[in-house]
Amino acid sequence: MKSETIDKLCCPFDKNDLNLKIITKDLNNNILEGFLHCNTCQRIYPIISGIPIMSPDEYRQFELEAPVIKRWERELGNQKIENFRLIENN
């Protein structure tokens, strides 16, 4: 995914802007892994192999996303992902 693609995307749930967190890029500066985050509804949409996964909650399977999210623990810092939402870790 190219970084400028973020300007064309919005949260599919509430149509608000998304924030981009880049985790890895390729040699051409294309985003390979990262996530998009909506500040309004707190939903998180992973970018895996350059493809943003922006399906509605009912069509997502957390167990399929869990291995990638596990690799991102360091990037999440004091936050965790629960019910496809980014929340502060208590």
Extended beta strands in 1-90, E state: 18-25, 31-38, 44-48, 51-52, 79-82, 85-88
Find residue 85's DSSP bridge partners: 43, 82
pLDDT at 90: 66
Taking only the tens place, the pLDDT of each residue in 79-90 is 888 888 888 876
pTM: 0.83
Q: Is the pLDDT of residue 30 over 70?
A: yes
Average pLDDT score over residue span 25-47? 93
